[in-house]
Amino acid sequence: MKNLFDLNGRVAVVTGGTGVLGSELAKGLSQAGARVVVLGREAQRRDAVVAEITKDGGEAWGLACDVLAPEQVRAAKEAVLEKYGRVDILINGAGGNRPPATTGSDLSFFDLPVDELDHVVRLNFMGTLIPSQIFGRVFAEQREGVILNISSMAAYRPMTKVVGYAAAKAAVSNFTQWLAVHFCQNYSPNIRVNAIAPGFFLTEQNRYLLTEETTGELTPRGRAILDHTPMGRFGEPCDLVGTVIWLVSDASKFVTGTVIPVDGGFLAFSGV
C-alpha cells in the first residue's frame, strides 16, 4: 500500500507555489518523495519555501514565473526539462480573489471595475489553462503525466460577493473534465487530469472576507460559513495534502476528470 502513494523520483511543478495553499502542497509533495519545482513571482517567498523543503531533507528548486505570461511559463518548462529531463506532475495552484473585484456595502455589482474582474477571471482560469497547455505538451510527448487543478466550493454553489472568482472556478471545474477526456482520447490514458475543490481556508485572498482586520473576530460571512460546515472549522492547509498525494500518485491511476471536495462537509449540508 505504501508504494501506491510513493512519489520518489518524480518531478512536480507547482504554480502559485509561494501561496498559503501552494507552499503547503509543495512541502507535502516533497515529503512523499517528489523533486519539487516552486513557481512564483516573488523571489523572497520562493526562496523561503525552497529553504524550508531542503531543510527537511527534500529537493526543491524555485523559478520566477507569472502564469499569465506564456513566455515565462515556456521558459520555466525548458529550465525544468534541462535540469531533470522530464515532468511528471503539474499542480495549478496559482489563483485567488481581490477586494476590488468583490461586491460589498461600498462597491455594488454595477460599479465593479471590469479590469479587476478580468484579472481575477484570467488569473484563475487562464492561469490554469496556460500552464496546462505548455506543460501538457510535455505529458503528451511522454505519454504520461498528471495535472491537478484547484477549483472551489464557489464552483458548485456561487458565493455572494465573489462574482468573478466563482465564475472562474466553475470554468476550472469544467476545463478539468474537458482536458481529462481530451488527453485520454487524443494522447494517452496515462495522462490524468483532476481537481480538488477546497472548502473554506484562511488565505491571504479571503481573510478580509472571513475575519475582521482589527480584531481578528469572525465576520458575519465567516460565522455563516462555519455554521454551514458540519466539522465546524476552517480548513488547515495541511488538510489538502493527503487528497493531493492520492490524486497525483499511482493510488488513483484509474481516476481522471474528477473534482474532489475537501470541505469539512460544507457541500453535503443543506442548512437543516
Q: What CATH number corresponds to the domain at position 118?
A: 3.40.50.720
Does residue 25 fall inside a structural domain?
yes
Does residue 80 sit in helix, strand or coil? helix
Q: Which of 191, 5, 10 is nearest to 84 (CA)?
A: 10
pLDDT tens by residue, 93-110: 999 999 999 999 999 999
Does residue 272 fall inside a structural domain?
no
pLDDT at 168 over 90: yes
76 versus 213: the higher-pLDDT residue is 76
Give the pLDDT band (50/70/90) at residue 205.
low
Q: Which amino acid is at 173?
A: S
Q: What torsion do the CA atoms of 114, 153, 259, 91 make, to the nearest 10 degrees?
A: 60
- Cβ neighbours of 64 (radius 10 Å): 14
Does residue 270 fall inside a structural domain?
no
Measured in degrees and rounded to the nearest 5, phi and psi for residue 170 equal -60, -40
Instruction: Give Cα separations from 203 to 84, 209, 270 (angstroms).
Output: 32, 10, 25
Give the pLDDT band (50/70/90) at residue 211.
confident
Does residue 267 fall inside a structural domain?
no
| Mean pLDDT, the chain, whole residue set | 95
| For the chain, percent of residues with pLDDT exceeding 90 | 89
**Domain range enclosing 217:** 2-262
Check residue 207 and give its pLDDT.
Answer: 75
pLDDT tens by residue, 47-69: 999 999 999 999 999 999 999 99
- Cβ neighbours of 195 (radius 10 Å): 26
Q: Which of 194, 174, 170 is nearest to 184 (CA)?
A: 194
Does residue 130 fall inside a structural domain?
yes
Q: What's the pTM? A: 0.94
Instruction: Say how many domains are in the chain.
Output: 1
Catalytic residues: 165
For range 111-128, the mean pLDDT: 98
Q: Which residues contact 90 (CB under 8 A, 6 or more apart)?
A: 12, 13, 15, 131, 132, 135, 136, 139, 145, 146, 147, 148
Does residue 215 fall inside a structural domain?
yes
